[in-house]
A and B are shown apart, each in its own frame.
Chain A
């Protein structure tokens, strides 16, 4: 079953572009990555799903329900972590969490304790006294507190130190293992690579690719780097070679094509060393943005 279903969703803020004709879907239990640089439309998409803003055209469904008509009902089962966290400054952390929990059915006392222990959050401090990173921790606990079925994470790791990031990732994996669907927006590819099953790449408001993270890495490109004497770029004039770079004595490029052809070519060149590897997501990503 599709937890999120987005069809030709378009949002303009007056004349300014938000997103244009975005379509994708996320299945139950997936961790779905949503990658793009700042201003590509990631937050716009999430805010449309939460009906904080309304689409110019197209529609979106969460849990099979139209986000425009069933907003409160849908949000009952959503946990949201915004990229920048703002809460009522005068409140204590514990009062804020209790206030938040009071809107959902159930008793979350033990869970509040457990989550705040994991994230090392001091419940008795005032929101206004918290640092950016600590506010983010409040956001994580608040977003997860009511046992949501869908987590919308908008650049969740900004402000967290590496240790906390790891704890956070473990927490997300644990939630996911318990059946929680995760929508993970980020511009940091390595974390998406670590966590997600599928990714959508968004560029200037439009989806350029939706694919399995493995196929994205495996199918097309090989990154080949070699060392040897008398290596000149002219030796490799095969179609499918891109990003050819020469650095004192070594040659690097991406290859997309018949693997036998390139091996045959490599055989004819005297080499001292060679590396054939899968490009990182980072490198693939740069390719989409060229």
Chain B
């Protein structure tokens, strides 16, 4: 428990920074929305944008002049930010001990490496939950002036659940990288590289029909804003794949960390 609480305290600054950026993003986004809201001219303008560009920006099938449609586009930013934040937390919370050479203190304490990973993973998970919570609350506050209907609130709820799942996937990936990488200084940047690769894969799948199978390899395709809006639920298959990825990454993280030499 003491490791868990120390980690919560030690990384608070990064949570605050991420949250401030996200709140700013929501504020700016909603301010922009005021130009789109209920404006038919904007629809004609949007229709003139080349479809490929719309695809890349994930703006197809989302009506930007409605609040739900607009938040469908915002979801792209939420999920990217959530993914990066979670992956950074996951990878550094383990590897920073080696980077700062504090392993010779923290892992000489009478605790097993498994217990250390558990405590730190839980601390990072709390951060992920807090990050989603802050996004949710900030969104609710920001959309107040537009008096959204019940369908928007339920869409936002699904969106936040999807954001949490994306965070958890990349938290697990980050933890695995932090536990496994001997070149611990690179764990964070590798995690971000994985996210960017996954994101570009998710764009590529839209371009060509025959690349459709790639969607199973990128979490950003598991939770597509347009289909979330349409179906108002998270696809069961993708939920199962997500759970599988998380489980495999976490187990591998424990397995590797227990066996390897710590870098001192």
Contact = CB atoms under 8 A, between A and B. Distances in A.
B103 A52 contact: yes
Contact of B2 (A84, A89, A90, A99): A99
B231 interface: no
Given A102-B2, A103-B2, A50 B108 contact: yes
A43 to B, nearest CB: 8
A124 to B, nearest CB: 18
B147 interface: no
Contacts of B109: 75, 100, 103
Contacts of B108: 50, 52, 75, 78, 80
A83 B180 CA distance: 26
Contacts of B100: 86, 88-89
Given A73-B110, A102-B2, A103-B110, A86 B10 contact: no
Interface string A73-103: 1011010101011111110000000011011
B101 A86 contact: yes
A71 interface: yes
Contacts of B111: 72, 103
A47 B262 CA distance: 10
Given A54-B259, A103-B111, A84 B101 contact: yes
Interface in B72-115: 100-105, 107-112, 115
A52 B110 contact: no
Contact of B104 (A52, A75, A88): A52
B264 interface: yes
A86 B262 CA distance: 15
Contact of A52 (B102, B107, B259): B107
A154 B262 CA distance: 17
B32 interface: no
A104 interface: yes
Band of interface residues on A: 20 to 34
Contact of A47 (B10, B259, B264): B264
B186 interface: no
Contact of A104 (B107, B110, B115): B110
A84 B103 CA distance: 12
A53 B112 CA distance: 13
Contacts of B157: none
A129 B100 CA distance: 16
B115 to A, nearest CB: 8
Interface in B1-22: 2, 6, 10
A87 B110 contact: no
A84 B100 CA distance: 12
Nearest to B1: A102
Contact of A71 (B102, B112, B264): B112
A76 B110 contact: yes
Contact of A72 (B6, B101, B110, B259): B110
B41 interface: no
Contacts of B112: 71-72
B261 interface: yes
A89 B259 CA distance: 28
A71 B6 CA distance: 22
A100 B261 CA distance: 23
Contacts of B2: 99, 102-103
Q: Which one of A72, A84, A85, A90 has the highest number of Cβ atoms from chain B below 10 Å of its Cβ?
A: A72
A196 to B, nearest CB: 23
Interface string B231-264: 0000000000000000000000000000111101
B110 A53 contact: no
A104 B2 CA distance: 12
Nearest to A48: B261
A149 to B, nearest CB: 13
A104 B108 CA distance: 12
Contacts of A71: 112
Given A54-B259, A54-B261, A99-B2, A86 B110 contact: no
B238 to A, nearest CB: 39
A82 B104 contact: yes
B110 A75 contact: yes
A262 B93 CA distance: 68
B88 to A, nearest CB: 18
Q: Which 5 A-B pairs have the closest CB atoms?
A: A53-B261, A76-B110, A86-B101, A75-B110, A82-B104
15 contacts: A47-B264, A52-B103, A52-B104, A52-B262, A53-B261, A72-B111, A72-B115, A75-B109, A84-B101, A88-B6, A88-B10, A99-B2, A103-B109, A103-B110, A142-B105
